[in-house]
Structures are given as C-alpha cells and as structure tokens.
Amino acid sequence: MHRWVALLRGVNVNGITVRSGELAQLFTDLGFSSVRTVLASGNVCFTANAVGTPEPAALKAAIETGLRERFGYEAWIVLVAQEALAEIIRSYPFERDDQHHAYVIFASSDATRDQLLDAAPPEGAQTVEHIAAGEGVVYWRCPKGESTATSFAKTLAKARFKATTTSRNLNTVEKLAGA
C-alpha cells in the first residue's frame, strides 16, 4: 500500500464546485482507502491498495477520468507521494514572514518544472519575487497582494501550464504532509 496526495487544479474557482464529501466518495468508489480531503481547494490524501507501488501515470489517468465523468469538468491533477512532502517542506529555500506568500508549484514532470524555471526572472534580477528549483517542484515567494501580478504569476497563468501544474501555499503542504 502506498500513500498519495492528489492535487486538483482549478477546483472551487471559476464556477467549478466540488464538495469535499463528494470528492472523497469518488476516490473511495475508485477503490482507494483511507481517503481524506484537506481544505476545500482540491487536496485528497489516499492509499492505493495495489500490491507494490502502483504506477503513478495509471493512478493519475484513473483519477482524472473519474473526476471528468463524475463532476463534468476538464480535470487535471498532479500526483505526489505523501512521503515526499516532508522533504519538499524542509527544502523551502526562502525566509518565511507575514509580508510574503510561500508557495510550492507542483509540476507533472521535470520538463514542465524546467520550462517554468526557464521563464522565471534571471537569478539576481531586481524583482519582488524569488524563485528556486526543488525536487519536482518550484519554490516561489512573492509579496502578499501581488500573487497574480508578478511576472512569474503571469507565467503560471499561461494556458500551456494549466494541465501540468498546480500551486499550494506552504501551510497547505504542511497540512497535507500530516494528513
């Protein structure tokens, strides 16, 4: 058995509403156990009951298909092994304070992560935001009130990243690690 976290993209925003209880029921119906939703932003922790380690691509495809069929929207997820979250949290490279958001951008592949990093402001550039590479993630720190206005925020909002990335603030990642 292996514990996973499904990070849904675009849930409970832009008119796409998925109730936590209905989301948990879908995962149970898909054959997963110990299903737990965390917050109302599309986070599901679950156990895949297959013998050995299930193939992540197959799990991702099954979950996305289930979401599309049950809730009728174009669903995308990023799937993360729950055990990887502790290291992602430990590796956050920036100072945390009350004036900035601390985000982790999860990418479906290293190629997607690298495309995000290529589009980021160059290291040392005069900017209000900070971006760094992590293992399968991009760390992002930006001033509160500017998380949709910075150059990197505009990159994240591009259609080409819609199906392959999702962001969570570090507080949410900490909750997911303990769920």
Smallest CA-to-CA distance from 106 within 52, 173, 39 is with: 173
Q: How confident is the model at residue 68 (pLDDT cuts 50, 70, 90)?
A: very high
pLDDT > 90? residue 127: no
Q: What residues are paired with 43 via a beta bridge? A: 7
Tokens matching residue 104: 């982790």
Question: What structural domains and CATH numbers belong to the chain?
Answer: 2-82 (3.30.70.1280), 85-177 (3.30.70.1260)
pLDDT > 90? residue 14: no
Name, in order, each residue with C-beta under 8 angstroms of 162's C-beta and a sequence gap of 6 or more. Answer: 9, 10, 76
Q: What residues are paired with 79 via a beta bridge? A: 6
The pTM (predicted TM-score) of the whole model is 0.90
Q: What is the pLDDT of residues 55-64, one digit of tens each?
A: 889 999 999 9
